[in-house]
Amino acid sequence: MNHLNIALWGVLPYLVLALFTAGTAWRYHYDRFGFTTRSSQLHESRLLSIGGPLFHFGLLFVAAGHVVGLVVPESLTERLHVTEGLYHANALLVGGTAGLATAAGLALLLYRRLKVPAVRAATSRSDRAVYPVLAAVLLAGLTATGASAHAYDYRQGVSVWFRSLFALDPDVPAMAHAPLVYRLHALLGMALFALWPFSRLVHAFTAPLGYLARPYVVYRSRTPARPYRHPALTGPDDADAPLRKRRRAHR
């Protein structure tokens, strides 16, 4: 067996997992309050209100599709009487739509980050490393989704390799014989998870709970509010001044 294949598909996944786990623990210990997206909504919200939901909700469906495609064995779907044609048609339709929505949302967010000076200035070094990898992962995934509609059945190759990792007995040939686009997608995915703990992506661990419990954002009005003055301390309101003046004139 090729030593490079053993290194890529038998050793590298465990190294990435170790880095991901240790990096997340380190980040939480030294920067637990940095588990945030560093929101820039106050600088520009129109593009964010479109690109944010497209990216995040699309990504949720993409993640769910990966779980079903990689974790659920083909034998189980056969027992549930889900035909091969129906499974792949659903994967192509739902997975392709979710992938396109995620890519469109990411494109809007990147355009916003480049267009708005304040947002561009807040871009960190980790952002510059993560965004290209994330974009490449999405493009490779969309290409792989289209390729799954043809001759290659990833559930008999990539999925077998993925599940074998949990058994601590990697099926290296199952992944080594996969088409190039699947291998590239897997490598880019591992690169993304290696960068994950050191970027703003860590907010995925706390955002779902944080958004449910976070308080309302209170904005100060641009129009200064009229101060309230208690009559017992300040006397009648100035609005009564003309009436008092007329009363004194009649006297």
CB atoms within 10 A of CB 74: 15
CB neighbours of residue 80 within 10 Å? 9
Cβ contacts of 203-212, under 8 Å, gap ≥ 24 = 203/35, 203/36, 203/37, 205/24, 205/35, 206/35, 206/36, 207/37
- Residue pointed to by tokens 């490079």: 4
Task: Count CB neighbours of 82 within 10 A.
Answer: 14
* Cβ-proximal residues to 184 (8 Å cutoff; 6+ apart), any chain: 140
Q: Which residues are annotated as part of the binding site?
A: 56, 66, 185, 203
CA 35 to chain centre: 13
Full 3-state SS string of 157-171: CHHHHHHHHHCCCCC
18 token code pair? 């170790």
Q: Which residues are annotated as a binding site for heme b?
A: 56, 66, 185, 203
User: Is residue 222 exposed (0-12), middle (13-18) or buried (19+ Cβ within 10 Å)?
Assistant: exposed
